């Protein structure tokens, strides 16, 4: 446990919302995992945060198990009395870890900026640019006193053994860092490092989380707000990613052809998905009520995008109202859409196109969570 980064979980009040403030020394792996959980950064409180509810606390323990140690003692101080607003604001200084890496030198920072510019010019996603830049930063800080031009495969092996493995970082983090270092030296330093010399972890095979049709129905019917119900319905009905919904504009919907155009989604790919008459009727009702002017779903200010944080909160509130205890995320709706299509007899090739998967192998994973054929299997236990 001593090798795991410590995350102090404190109750905070931010923009009139009760949140879980997450305080820890900078750690790329933890930061990446929190982003995947839809956590947001607060400059005011100098921390990452999630809505303060039991479901999110359970998710933190579940998702970060083996990666970080959660200190929740601050949540249970004076449980009978809510702290005053001024007591909720945490200290601005986060304790530094004992093994803090040295800061970047000017030369190293210049290299980070050059690498970041190359990633941006190559139209890598903002998340990839940030993740790769932070990964390279850690590597260069680890070899703070080493001239970049003298770095070899041996340095990469040392970094893997002495930093990644020793600190118990995950396989996905290890692959991210190695890929970032490999790209930097190949493109910026014009020098090839051989990642094959580093013992790569076996690829993890995790099955997607799927909700039943009955659970989906409960979630979609839970919101009383029409916009909230429309957003969740569209994600499930069309198998959308969160970003695809938030980036959708009014012009992307073709009523006459009954299709929605998904523009520049993951991998910079366009695709089209069908939209049913039932969904078109819901959209008509939504248009009349909210009158969006650019994006299909806009924030408080007309013409601005709805935020990812607010969208995640919509789902959490729906789960709470429907009484579903599973730690579902927005991506669970997409997984459920694909699985339900497969169970209804839709060919995998069509599902691949609808989801925008580059490889059919990605889509085939849904065959492992479909219960249609499994339910036909009779256990020998029943014959005893």
Active site residues: 241, 266, 331, 334, 357, 366
Backbone φ and ψ of 314, nearest 5°: -60, -45
Residue 161 backbone phi and psi in degrees, to 5: -75, -45
| Residue 165: CA count within 13 A, CB half-sphere | 11
Residue 101, token pair as written in the block: 């890496």
Phi, psi (deg, nearest 5) at residue 18: -85, 120
Distance separating alpha carbons of residues 176 and 240, to the nearest angstrom: 25
């Amino acid at each position: 446990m001593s090798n795991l980064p410590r995350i102090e979980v404190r109750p905070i009040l931010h923009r009139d919302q009760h949140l879980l403030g997450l305080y820890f020394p900078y750690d790329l792996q933890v930061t990446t995992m929190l982003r995947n959980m839809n956590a947001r950064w607060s400059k005011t409180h100098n921390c990452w945060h999630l809505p303060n509810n039991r479901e999110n606390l359970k998710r933190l323990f579940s998702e970060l198990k083996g990666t970080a140690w959660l200190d929740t003692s601050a949540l249970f101080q004076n449980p009978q009395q809510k702290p005053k607003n001024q007591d909720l604001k945490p200290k601005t200084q986060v304790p530094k870890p004992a093994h803090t890496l040295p800061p970047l030198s000017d030369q190293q920072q210049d290299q980070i900026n050059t690498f970041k510019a190359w990633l941006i010019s190559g139209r890598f996603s903002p998340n990839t640019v940030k993740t790769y830049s932070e990964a390279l930063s850690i590597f260069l800080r680890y070899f703070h006193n080493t001239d970049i031009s003298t770095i070899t495969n041996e340095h990469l092996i040392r970094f893997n053994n002495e930093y990644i493995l020793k600190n118990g970082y995950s396989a996905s983090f290890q692959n991210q860092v190695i890929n970032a270092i490999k790209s930097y030296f190949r493109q910026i330093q014009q020098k090839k490092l051989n990642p094959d010399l580093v013992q790569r972890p076996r690829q993890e095979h995790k099955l997607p989380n799927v909700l039943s049709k009955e659970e989906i129905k409960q979630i979609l019917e839970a919101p009383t707000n029409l916009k909230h119900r429309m957003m969740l319905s569209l994600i499930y009905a069309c198998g959308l990613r969160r970003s695809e919904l938030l980036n959708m504009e009014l012009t992307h919907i073709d009523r006459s052809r009954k299709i929605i155009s998904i523009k520049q989604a993951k991998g910079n790919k366009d695709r089209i998905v069908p939209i049913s008459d039932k969904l078109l009727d819901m959209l008509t009702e939504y248009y009349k009520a909210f009158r969006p002017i650019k994006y299909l779903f806009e924030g408080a200010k007309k013409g601005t995008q709805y935020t990812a944080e607010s969208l995640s909160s919509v789902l959490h509130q729906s789960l709470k109202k429907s009484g579903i205890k599973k730690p579902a995320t927005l991506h669970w709706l997409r997984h459920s859409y694909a699985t339900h299509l497969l169970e209804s007899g839709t060919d995998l090739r069509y599902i691949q196109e609808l989801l925008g998967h580059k490889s059919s192998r990605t889509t085939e994973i849904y065959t492992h969570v479909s219960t249609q054929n499994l339910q036909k299997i009779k256990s020998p236990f029943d014959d005893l």
